[in-house]
């Protein structure tokens, strides 16, 4: 059973879920008896259909599955937390609005609005409202984001021609980024003390991380990208770091808006890459001191830490690195994926 603090607080997400009349009683019963672990911001994370979500995201995911209507022209940025969501949001926004907002413009929206605000997270929005408004991006289509694993995406995603772009990242850098972020969020929102790294690492290795297990989340999108390459594009954080312009051309091609010769000659690809780089975005006032209110009122600076490949070396012992690599290698065996 869920704990009293999850159920009895009238504003808790689990309480709201149980109150929502449109869910069958059977589903409500199965939800409250889900396996659970201690949560980061809420008392618990729940294991729903093999993936770990806290009560806020579980509530949002269930509403999203029930109510979200994908449109043929939707683009959905699909990521496991800390794998490059903010970066990919910025790249996709700049790329898809480049005619309306040339990147050379001093009034480009990314200069004054955080990527998190420009592209909204679906399950987070649904946790707040039954019918959230996902604005068109000015070109008559929507760009959305989700942390949901492929297996938990709403059915309408598969019934429509919408496109999914996924980015993933080396598991060791991801766990480090996750630990820093979650502890900062705990401190900023709730004044809670930090959870030590070894404890977080251990849970990560058991698969008990938000929207994890890491490997199942990543493999879901990887396999679909191989089987359905017109629907799912799979990117790697490290490859975007290495050759941002090459990856930008891949994204543009996948979305059916390749760069023209004129754009190539005019340096548009490099312009987008520079505008969306860690150095550029993290130094903007909006991302240093601003807050994103449609999500938690948390500082935008939480989404910009180091932006480096290999920072795990400052946190993991050799034994830890070997342990996580062995787990992931074993799970990825025979899939053709390596990170």
Give the footprint of ligand PAP on this chain (CB under 6 A): 79, 81-87, 90, 173, 177, 180, 276-278, 281, 303-307, 311
Residue nearer to ligand PAP on the CB measure, 86 or 209: 86
Q: What secondary structure letter does DSSP report for 109?
A: G
CA R_g for the chain:
20
Residue nearer to ligand PAP on the CB measure, 59 or 217: 217
CB of residue 84 to ligand PAP, shortest distance in Å: 5
CA distances in angstroms from 209 to 151, 171, 189, 193, 214, listed in the order given:
16, 12, 19, 18, 7
CB of residue 282 to ligand PAP, shortest distance in Å: 7
Decide: 46 and 133 in contact? Cβ < 8 Å. Answer: no
Q: What secondary structure letter does DSSP report for 145?
A: E
CB of residue 90 to ligand PAP, shortest distance in Å: 6
Q: What secondary structure letter does DSSP report for 320?
A: H
Residue nearer to ligand PAP on the CB measure, 15 or 305: 305
CB of residue 214 to ligand PAP, shortest distance in Å: 13
44 assigned to active site: no
**121 in helix, strand or coil?**
strand
CA distances in angstroms from 8 to 3, 18, 131, 255, listed in the order given:
8, 10, 25, 46
Close Cβ partners of 60 (under 8 Å, ≥ 6 residues apart): 13, 122, 123, 124, 125, 126, 127, 128
Residue nearer to ligand PAP on the CB measure, 232 or 275: 275
Residue nearer to ligand PAP on the CB measure, 46 or 303: 303
Candidate list 147, 180, 217, 315, residue with the active-site label = 147
Q: What are phi and psi of 137, to 5 degrees?
A: -90, 15
Residue nearer to ligand PAP on the CB measure, 186 or 306: 306
**Listed residue (212, 189, 206) closest to 291, CA to CA:** 189
CB of residue 127 to ligand PAP, shortest distance in Å: 15
DSSP string, 43-103: SEEEEETTEEEEHHHHHHHHHHHHH----TT-EEEEE-TTSSHHHHHHHHHHHHTTTTS-T
Cα 339 to chain centroid distance, Å, stands at 18
Question: Among all chains, which residue has been given the structure tokens 């003390």?
Answer: 193
Q: What are phi and psi of 124, to 5 degrees?
A: -65, -45
Decide: 268 and 284 in contact? Cβ < 8 Å. Answer: no
CB of residue 88 to ligand PAP, shortest distance in Å: 8
Residue nearer to ligand PAP on the CB measure, 18 or 217: 217
CB of residue 299 to ligand PAP, shortest distance in Å: 13
Tell me the catalytic residues.
147
């Amino acid at each position: 059973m869920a704990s009293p603090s999850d159920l009895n607080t009238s504003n808790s997400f689990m309480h709201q879920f149980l109150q929502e009349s449109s869910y069958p009683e059977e589903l409500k019963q199965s939800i409250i008896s889900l396996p659970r672990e201690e949560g980061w911001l809420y008392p618990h994370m729940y294991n729903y259909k093999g993936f770990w979500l806290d009560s806020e995201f579980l509530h949002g995911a269930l509403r999203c599955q029930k109510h979200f209507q994908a449109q043929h022209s939707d683009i959905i940025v699909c990521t496991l937390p800390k794998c490059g969501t903010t970066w990919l949001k910025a790249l996709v926004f700049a790329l898809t609005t480049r005619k309306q907002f040339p990147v050379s413009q001093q009034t480009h929206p990314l200069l004054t609005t955080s990527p998190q605000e420009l592209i909204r997270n679906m399950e987070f929005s649904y946790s707040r409202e039954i019918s959230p408004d996902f604005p068109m991006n000015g070109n008559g289509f929507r760009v959305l984001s989700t942390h949901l694993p492929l297996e938990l995406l709403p059915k309408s995603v598969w019934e429509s021609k919408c496109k999914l772009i996924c980015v993933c990242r080396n598991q060791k850098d991801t766990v480090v980024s996750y630990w820093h972020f979650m502890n900062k969020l705990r401190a900023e929102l709730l004044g809670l003390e930090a959870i030590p790294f070894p404890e977080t690492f251990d849970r990560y290795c058991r698969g008990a991380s938000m929207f994890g297990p890491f490997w199942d989340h990543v493999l879901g999108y990887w396999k679909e990208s191989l089987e359905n390459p017109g629907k799912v594009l799979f990117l790697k954080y490290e490859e975007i770091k290495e050759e941002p312009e090459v990856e930008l051309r891949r994204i543009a091609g996948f979305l059916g808006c390749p760069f023209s010769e004129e754009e190539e000659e005019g340096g548009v690809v490099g312009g987008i890459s520079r505008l969306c780089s860690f150095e550029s975005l993290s130094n903007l006032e909006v991302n240093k001191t601003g807050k994103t209110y449609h999500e938690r009122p948390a500082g935008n600076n939480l989404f910009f830490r180091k932006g480096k490949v290999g920072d795990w070396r400052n946190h993991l012992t050799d034994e830890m690195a070997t342990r996580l690599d062995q787990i992931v290698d074993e799970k990825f065996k025979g899939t053709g994926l390596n990170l």
